[in-house]
Structure 1
Amino acid sequence: MKILSIEFDYEYNNLISAAINSSVAKGTFWTSGSDEGCEGKFSWCSVKKLVRNQEAKWFPQQPDNFGGKENCVTIGLSKTVALLSDVDCSSSNRYICEARDTRNTPVNSDAIVEECAAVFNVSKEETQKTEDLCGMVNDERVLLLAEMFAESSDELLQENMIAISTCSSKKGMDECDTAALIFQCGQETAPQLVTNLINTAQLDTTAESVPLPRIAPKCLTDFSCVIDQSMRDDYLNNRVTTNAETFTACGIKYLLDYQARSYQDASSLCCKYGLKLASIENAEELFCINRSSMGMNFREEWIHTWVAASRLGASDPSDYRWCTSSGRFNLLPEIPDRYPERISYLDWYLFSIKFRPPAAIPVVLVARDRLSSRLPTLCKP
């Protein structure tokens, strides 16, 4: 095996998943990264590739070469982040080793294709297309084909030739990366030419694509869950406090606690009542809650509550799961997103609902929140 090199963006999510699933995969670990002898130009030494700035994820203010002798790279891992730092090479840290996974593909070349597909989030068939297209662009035949495809249009011919000149010069870190960059460039500058080249190469463009399995989102489990019998009795007998009330919507008896809490504390609170942080079956359940007597003791115009959904570690930023039920998450895009820009923020992986009760015009919105957020709690059986 070789010491860890983080060449591609998806590997950060893999490492976070490892930290979630293992009690030892948290802390600071050596990587093969170094800028020894070439200050500021970091490379992954075990694979002899540059650290690409567009994909490297550094801690804030890193790398800083503190004291003028930080030439090696570590990665800090937790359940939510995987970030790089430059450190003194003589310091002591734990380490991670890696090797290509050949368990499902005993032929090494097939394993490379699988890895290439994972890197660029495409099917193996699409990976093969990019590799074949890469070979064609380096073939002089492509110039004749580009002229033929232009069909006597000087403007289209010029567009095709510019695309060939621009894209054929693309160079990645390896053959797979080069092929993907050429393919992406062609799709952006001359998509019809790319389509014609693929068809001419006699690739099987009608074959069904089989995408790689997505990385499933994880749920937070680091909270206590102990029933408090007196609180359970309060819920069963509709005894409300200053901060909480019960209400019924579409045959389900909910509990709403107005005090702002963290996600873990909200989950623990529901457990004390013998309940669970609410998972929502469908949009109709949200509208049913909004039409109920919810919030009668709440003076604010909006009620913004935690619900039990998470996208922690998911490969698709829109891929949420319910953590207290086996139901499919299907609220998006049916319910309007209050903060759509947050989908691109890695640490905003938890989910909440904003209700505007019937005292005004009924409105329901969804929102994304992070671990440090503090919100009221919605519990259900």
Structure 2
Amino acid sequence: MAMPRVVGSRRHPRGMVRNLNGDSSSRLMAFICPLVLFALAKHCTQAFSPPTLTAGRRELALGLSRQEDEDTRDCNPAETSRRSALFDFGAYAAATALVGLIPMSADAAVVASRDATALGDPSTLLTDDSYPPITQKVYLDVRISRQDGSFYVRDDLPDTPENRVYTGRLTLGLFGTVAPRNVEQFLRYADVPYNPADDNPLPSYARSRFTRLDQDTGMLSGGNIPGLELTEVGGGTNMKYGGKILPAPLWIEPRNKGASSPGDADAAAQTRKVSHALGSGLITHRTLDALPSFGITTRSSPELDNTHVVFGRVIPDESSMQFLQACVDLPTYSMDRPSTPAEAPRTGGERAAEEAAGRVFAVQREFFRGAAKTFGDSRVDKVYEGKLLRRVEVTRVGLL
């Protein structure tokens, strides 16, 4: 069963450019323009500020002197400082908006977006069907609960899809040449020896869960090991699992320094990053995340190229594709207000009332969630957008 793939033109993150043929004048303009526009915007906001207009009206209507107006403003320095801060903020916002409208050469754009280019060069992303070689294969035995959350055998329920327990195997192929660090960290939780006599085992994907399906990016979140969390020990970040304190290395790939010979060019071609635009079935991990959670794409998601690294793909066998489709079809939790069915007839007034009710619902939701976090209610973290409303668990993991 072939995996659906989407091949398109390369998409570059905002601010990234590939042509570096700028001159020194464009650099100077990129530096001077924000300063000039900031001064101009600040002058305009001060010229039309509320204190100036109020003083003018008082002088014309009541004949008060400018000295009396200055004495009145000096009596409330706190209000004056707040107004000055608001004027500076407005001037800065106006200057920032105007700078975005000024065309810059390629070299000036690189100087202005140096932080964005640190995420990776788009030219190193593979956007065709030539997948890197698979260096290791890992299997995960998975199961999906009934709608009541149970897995055990029951004969008192009707034979419907909601009352069936799904069991299958998910097979993954890892790209050890493209993302060696990510593959190494992934195998730490996949190749864990099982010892039934060990009361305090190491964290393993064999006790992990799939918890979320992001509707915006189409990414299925897995590798969530219950009880594994980050903690601070001696000023450093570590992981806590049961009674053990474990190191928490970041999943960071070394930079590709380029090729200096034809042989190096072939090797660099094999180590280029894989783009999430290839489609579904890609195994990905968030950059700078020390936890072993990973994601599986269910559709083309090129927007993930800036924040995630692809280090493998799902082997497109029948069992793996059935599992992905079953997860996509699962109901998920939504933070939006339930709406009226589309087939129900509604007038213009009813639609306006529904939209107003939706806005009120959103405000109330944010208020009560914020209040719950303030009072330390941990239950608020267990309800989030895209949460799978079925238990999706991994029961066994191993190498093939």
Which protein is richer in helix relative to its size? 2
* Structure index of larger Rg: 2
TM-score normalised by length of structure 2: 0.23
